[in-house]
Amino acid sequence: MELRRKVSEDIKKWYKSNNKALLIKGARQVGKTYVVRNVLKELGNKYYEVNLIESPEAIDVIMKTTDIDDFILGLSAIKDMPLVKKETVIFIDEVQKCKELVTRIKFLVDEGSFRYILSGSLLGVELTNLESAPVGYMTTIDMFPLDFEEFLQVTNITQNIMEHLRESFFKRMPIMDTVHSKLMSLFRQYLVVGGMPDAVSTFAETRNLNDIIRIHNDIINLYKLDFTRYESEDKKLQLINLYEKIPAELLKQNRRYVVTDVKKGLRFDRIEDSFLWLNNSGVAHSVYNATEPRVPLKANIKQSLFKLYLSDVGMLTSLYGMDTKRRIISNDPHLNGGGIFENAVAQELKSKGFDLYYYNSNRLGELDFVIEYLGGSFPLEIKSGKDYTIHSALNNCLANEQYEMNEAFVLADCNISSEDKITYMPIYMTMFINNASNEDVLLENITF
């Protein structure tokens, strides 16, 4: 089935607003190629598409040809698609195979005959030292798996229900009980399916969890293949070990990633670049420790202390196995679901453009997440059980006037209620927490 994505509106906005090249970054299988094709077709554009893995000969044409007519001739020889000056958009996929193209793009943009879209996997890794080169010539969009709001398009949730939820969030008023019960059921479905487009489409068609697990395992194997394809022999084994350890670390009470759990005596500074690789590639999300939970949070970061979440919660629950998925769907109260809930929140907030932090103090306790939101430092506590009203660390931090925290959310399986500075929110309402820079990227243009 055709899945509508919020990022489509960002691509349309780029096309209408400027002549820069567009770079779309994201992990493998999040739907980059699919979205670009659909948007260009919807806009009625002529476009030329070339994949640098399937057609490596295109690299020489793009990088070495200086005459525009020779450039057109060379691309036409590779693929029989029309190239019309001032009309055709050239879409270059799998651009990680030629990362130097990012520095070349400013010359192509200046020449002005065509518009350019670049996309690929591992760009956060491959372009680390090059991404600033084409300043003023390229717009960058990060792409993620479907968030929960996008996932709802394959359900029977109506626009009226969405409006009721949105109003409840912003007015901090309770949700109708039947609506809340339905949304929690759908959220648990999201935990087992996740947001990878192939998994969501398959779920919509078959509802077969075995099919979902197979899709997730195939994607995970692709990620591991990328580790081996783009890194040295010693580093690829390290990346695989660190990646495979994430689910176990999220079962612990404090979720913090402990490097000695991977290998006794291992020091963080020896493998720091591998953690950065996982984060920059988009296959995992790092949440760093903030030594003080006040803005600017980035100024208080301690990078040697962090939590690590998978890029997709459905893939996480697939790694835990079918029994875990069944227990999630049945809302088993004995399930150790804290890490799963946190992974879903981390994934959602990252897709909204938030930088994520956590805070831990021997004196005050630990906050699951701290973000910059509504003009200040904003704590989020994630609760998977029924004891969601117990949160001493949150109380301690809210009482500290130096932190200037005006409000906090406790996200749990609960309806909306407020007590002093704390608002209890259903965990699925994370979909309405928007970064100020992204508040115009909502779902008004998508109807259910």
The pLDDT tens digits of the residues spanning 390-433 come to 999 999 999 999 999 999 999 999 999 999 999 999 999 999 99
- Same domain as 110, residue 158: no
Question: Domain for residue 444, yes or no?
Answer: no
Distance of CA 198 to the CA centre of its chain: 16
- Same domain as 199, residue 137: no
Predicted local confidence at residue 128, as pLDDT = 52
How many domains does one find in the chain?
A: 2
Question: Domain for residue 1, yes or no?
Answer: no
The domain in which residue 44 lies consists of 7-142
pLDDT in tens, 138-179: 899 999 999 999 999 999 999 999 999 999 999 999 999 999
Does 319 score more than 90 pLDDT? yes
- Same domain as 232, residue 109: no
Q: What is the amino acid identity at position 314?
A: G
- Same domain as 152, residue 27: no
CA-wise closest residue to 89 among 48, 57, 127, 56: 48
Count, in order, helices (H) and strands (E) of the chain: 17, 13
Predicted local confidence at residue 96, as pLDDT = 85
Does 43 score more than 60 pLDDT? yes
Q: End of a domain among 114, 142, 170?
A: 142
**Per-residue tokens: 218:** 């195939």
* Average confidence score pLDDT of the chain: 91
Whole-angstrom Cα distance, residue 9 to residue 368?
32
- Same domain as 169, residue 56: no
Question: Domain for residue 445, yes or no?
Answer: no
CA-wise closest residue to 195 among 314, 34, 345: 314
- Same domain as 216, residue 95: no
Predicted local confidence at residue 303, as pLDDT = 87
- Same domain as 134, residue 153: no
Does 439 score more than 50 pLDDT? no
Predicted local confidence at residue 100, as pLDDT = 84
Question: Domain for residue 52, yes or no?
Answer: yes
CA-wise closest residue to 89 among 75, 103, 70: 75
Question: Domain for residue 446, yes or no?
Answer: no
pLDDT in tens, 84-133: 999 999 999 998 888 788 888 889 999 999 999 999 887 655 555 444 55
- Same domain as 220, residue 91: no
Residue 257 contacts residue 308 (beta carbons within 8 Å): yes
pLDDT in tens, 327-368: 999 999 999 999 999 999 999 999 999 999 999 999 999 999
- Same domain as 217, residue 311: yes
Q: End of a domain among 142, 168, 194?
A: 142
Question: Domain for residue 357, yes or no?
Answer: yes
Confidence of residue 230 (pLDDT cuts 50, 70, 90): low
Q: What is the pairing mode between strands 417-419 and 422-426?
A: antiparallel
Question: Domain for residue 246, yes or no?
Answer: yes
Q: End of a domain among 78, 107, 142?
A: 142
- Same domain as 171, residue 157: yes
Question: Domain for residue 232, yes or no?
Answer: yes
- Same domain as 137, residue 155: no
Does 193 score more than 60 pLDDT? yes
Predicted local confidence at residue 307, as pLDDT = 95
Predicted local confidence at residue 392, as pLDDT = 94
